[in-house]
Structure formats: C-alpha cells, structure tokens
Structure 1
Amino acid sequence: MKLSKRMQFLVKNGLKGMAWLLLILAAYFLFKEVVLSRTPDAWVDQIYARPLLVYLVYCFSEFFFGIFPPELFMIWAINKDTIPHYFMNLTFFAVVSYTMGYLTFLIGRYFNTHASLKYFKKNMLKEVWPQLKKYGLFLIIVAALTPVPWSAVCLLVGSAGYPSKRFLKYALFRLLRFAIYGYIIYQTHVF
C-alpha cells in the first residue's frame, strides 16, 4: 500500500522521535545505574530540597526549545511524594507545556509579520517554507507526541502563519503525550 507524502512524513519523523525517546530512556537508566545507585542520597537531597527551582527550570526548558525532556521532571515527580501529588505535577507539566507551546507559537506569529523575517524567509528559506505550510499539521502532531523540540516547532509553525485555532486543536496531542508517558513512568516506578 502506497502512503501519501504527508503520511510518509508523519511516519518517518514519528520513528525518529521514538528513536530519540529510546536514546533518552537508555541514558536515564544508565545514569540511574552508574551514578544514582552509588550516591543516591546526595543527588536526591539536592534536587528534592528545592521544588520551586525544579518548576522554574521546567518552565524555562519548555519555553526555550525543550532543553530538558519533560520525562525527567515526571520521574522527579513520581519519586517526590504521593501518587496524587504525582498526578497533580503531571497535570501541571502538561498545562505548562501546552501553554508555553502556544506562547512560542504567538511569538512566531509576531515574527511572521516582522519585516526582517519576511526578508529572511524570502531569501534563505524559500524552499523550506512551502513544505512547512504543507506539513504543519503533521509537524505539530509529531512534535507533540515525540521528543522533537516542542517549542521550536511551535515557533516555526507560528512563523509560517499557521492558523491559531487549528494549532490549538492539534496541539492537544501534547496533553495525550503527557498522559501516555506519565502512565508509563507510573507503571515503571510504582511497586
């Protein structure tokens, strides 16, 4: 069966995102076995003593191209306190991620109307921009569900002039990602 170009794009980039997820998980488990198993108290006490700092780092990371994967914060939350507290943190992380994605989308929309970006698009990205407009929906879904940098994709899609209502609708896949990944982390860390 021949897949359309859009579906090929979605599958290809979805597989790349899953490969990155596996790499992140492998790095986490390696870190857990090599570093945390030898001196767990030193690491845990440093991080858990400052939850406000963790929340600020998360917000910063979600705004600036996902420097740290949200799964690290989910793991922090599952180890921090009770199960209801974990789900409250998971909800907080999902809402912040969705909101920061929309904020960077709006920044991209602002740059779309800015004269210097119009010049940049016309001269430097003339081949990429039509593809971005054509595959914007799939790019949003792939970035929402995989470790592809969420806010960077939101910025690009916004700067391509993608409609706000459609972005907000398809960005809801980001909440699905948090539900799925949160459940997986819950299942792997609760005994």
Structure 2
Amino acid sequence: MKEKAKSKKKSRIRLLHQYYSYTGFYKFVWNSLKKAVLPILLFVGALWGIDHYLLDIEDMLVTITETYAPLEVLSIFFLSESLLGLVPPELFIAWAGKSASPFLYLSLLATASYLGGVVSYFIGIAITKIPSVKEAMEVKLAIHIKNTRKWGGFLIIVGALLPIPFAMTSIAAGIIKFPFTSYLTFGLLRFARFYLYALVIFEMV
C-alpha cells in the first residue's frame, strides 16, 4: 500500500512537472529572476552612489524618521501596496533600517504589504461585478490573469517573493476568484521577501 501511495505521489509530481514545463512556468520564473536581479543591483548601486557623492543617506533616513510619524509612513506604504504597488518596497525597507526598532517596523511593513495584497484581491473581486471596468482591467492585466489561470498558487508565490507588483497578481487572483484561503497561505511568503531583502538593504544603509 505504501509503495502504491509513493508511486501515485511520484506520478502526480511528474505530471505537474510536465504541465509546468509545457506551459512555460519554469521559463517565466527564470525570466522573472533575471529581471529581478537588475533592479536590485541598480537600487543597491544607486544607494551607494548617492551616499558617496550626493548626500548622506543615513542622515536623510534619520531625518525622515524624525519628521514623519511611523503611522504616516506605514499608511502611505499600505495605500501603495493596495493600488498596483506604486512605490518600491525597498525604499521603505531602508526607512525601517534607520527606525528606532528596525525589526518591528520591517515586520509592520511586511504586514502592510500582505494586507495591501488582500485589499487588491477584493478589488479584483469587486471589478468582476462591474462589466465595463472588468473588460478594461482584463485587457490591462491580460498577462497576469492568463498566467494566474494557468499556474494559480505558484504564480502568487512568485509574485510574493520577486519584484513583480504583488498588487497586480492579487487583483488577477481576485478577478479569477482564486480560492481565498489558498491565496492567504501563499501570500505569507511576502514576509520572507521583506526579511531577505532587509539582510542586504540594512547593511547598505
């Protein structure tokens, strides 16, 4: 019985592997990784250049932390993460690094991003109830919707971990009515992204 169960499990894994290979999922992830490396390198390089030749980034971030209340910064970030990810999270991670409690504010940023994705998911669901808006968004997010239908949770994982606008992936998930509990589970990897990026950015600032 155990051998049969193992065999079935292997067959299922093999079928999934064949499916993701055939539909181009692995190629998509590889291309996303390659695209992710350049923005990260550019951001780190820009930080280094600005810090050495234009202004002291550490002083600037300290000034921001002293000028704006944490709730204001977190609120701006939450709105950004709820509306197509307009501001790069890396800027806010750098801010957290110079705050009074870096790990606390980093965790709050990750939570704001996660909850912003949930808002985006429900925006996607709301869009389906307005035919004219749904048609427009299906054109605007055609690739995201198509990929989410093909790869489901795996695309949400990629969106949570890589520098792909998480809000767009979340809206697409809402439009196709991807199971909400599964979305919440896969979306938790958003926290991993923030902690991993912080390892680099905290050292830079």
TM-score between both structures, scaled by the size of structure 1: 0.79
Contact 1:111–1:117 (CA under 8 A) maintained in structure 2: yes
5+ residue gaps, structure 1, are none
> What is residue 73 of structure 1 aligned with on the other side?
92
Percent identity of paired positions between Structure 1 and Structure 2 = 28
Contact 2:122–2:174 (CA under 8 A) maintained in structure 1: yes
Q: Alignment partner for residue 29 of structure 1, among 25, 41, 48?
A: 48
Change (3 A) 1:18 1:157: farther
Structure showing greater Rg: 2
> What's the C-alpha RMSD, in Å, of the aligned pairs?
2.9
One-letter identity of the residue aligned with 2:155: L
> What is residue 51 of structure 1 aligned with on the other side?
69
Q: Alignment partner for residue 174 of structure 2, among 154, 158, 162?
A: 158
SS in 2 for 1:67: coil
Number of aligned positions between the proteins: 183
Displacement after TM superposition at 1:77 (Å): 1.9
What's the CA shift string for 1:2-46, capped at 9, x where partnerless? 981222222222221232222222222222223223x97567435
CA distance in 1, matches of 2:103, 2:53: 28
The structure with higher relative contact order (CA 8 Å, sep 6+) is: 1
TM-score between both structures, scaled by the size of structure 2: 0.74
Alignment of 1:114-133 (within 5 A): 114-120=130-136, 124=139, 128=143, 129-133=145-149
Alignment of 1:9-24 (within 5 A): 9-24=28-43
Q: Alignment partner for residue 6 of structure 1, among 25, 29, 45?
A: 25
Change (3 A) 1:42 1:102: closer
> What is residue 177 of structure 1 aligned with on the other side?
193
Contact 2:159–2:165 (CA under 8 A) maintained in structure 1: yes
CA distance in 2, matches of 1:139, 1:104: 15
Displacement after TM superposition at 1:120 (Å): 4.5
5+ residue gaps, structure 2, are 1-17
CA distance in 2, matches of 1:34, 1:98: 35
- Which consecutive aligned stretches of 4+ in structure 1 deviate over 6 angstroms post-superposition? none
